[in-house]
Amino acid sequence: MRASTASKRSRQSHNLAQRLHSHESQAITDLYDLYSELLYVLVKTIAKNSTVVNSLVQESFFRAWNRAAQLEEPFPPLGLWLMEIARECALDYQKLSRARQLIATVSPTANFPATAIGRESGALENTRIEEGFASLSEDQKRVTGLWFYRGLSDEAIADRLQEPIDKVKRLRKAGRNRLAQKLDLADFASK
């Protein structure tokens, strides 16, 4: 029974990716319903500024919608794809904040239309992230953490950890793949 449930979830995820690729308007709503809580937790962890988290999550979905036509078969795991977009948004925000501090300007960041997200399931999402990272080896945790949360390149990670670049790339890819398996929320499509 479990195998048939996993197969059904895989089909639902593939179907959602196809609908998103075709710019079906309901697809972005379904994607938001499935992944907004996860993105909220991740963005909050990276951006470290709770006043902009809703805007950054909303920006993540705008970017996903704009990039959906670029998705190709085989479709990537949607949860991981969205996490990478959200990570990019949060890191962009951090860079912008640092740049603004450097030039000593006090201009507020652009406010994107934000929809209130219920936070009742935030603990569940945080648990899923912790479980995903717990499934990684210690080396994968170090490399994946520096790559995902700090936005460091493979070269910067290799320098920081004093490890060969090939080892860092291998660890990051293995960690990313394991997180994709653990964090892709397509299995919650039946919620």
- Residue 13 confidence (pLDDT) above 70: no
- What pLDDT does 187 receive? 41
User: Burial code of 64-88, b = ≥16 C-beta within 10 A, e = fewer?
Assistant: bbeebeebeeebebbbbbbbbbbbe
Q: How far apart are CA 88 and CA 159, in angstroms?
A: 22
On whether the CB atoms of residues 7 and 189 are closer than 8 A, the answer is: no
Quickly list DSSP for 34-45. Answer: HHHHHHHHHHHH
Q: What is the mean pLDDT of residues 63-76?
A: 85
Report the percent of the chain where pLDDT is more than 90: 9
Give the pTM.
0.56
Radius of gyration of the CA atoms of the chain, in A: 17
pLDDT at 51: 86
* Amino acid 167: pLDDT: 92
Section 78-107 average pLDDT? 72
Q: What is the pLDDT of residues 148-179, one digit of tens each?
A: 777 778 888 888 888 898 999 999 888 888 87
- Using CA atoms, how far apart are residues 117 and 139, in angstroms rounded to an integer? 34
Residue 5 has pLDDT above 70, yes or no: no
Which of the four pLDDT bands, split at 50, 70 and 90, describes residue 10? low
Is the predicted pLDDT of residue 190 greater than 70, yes or no? no
State how far the alpha carbon of 61 is from the alpha carbons of 10, 85, 90, 148, in Å: 21, 8, 13, 18
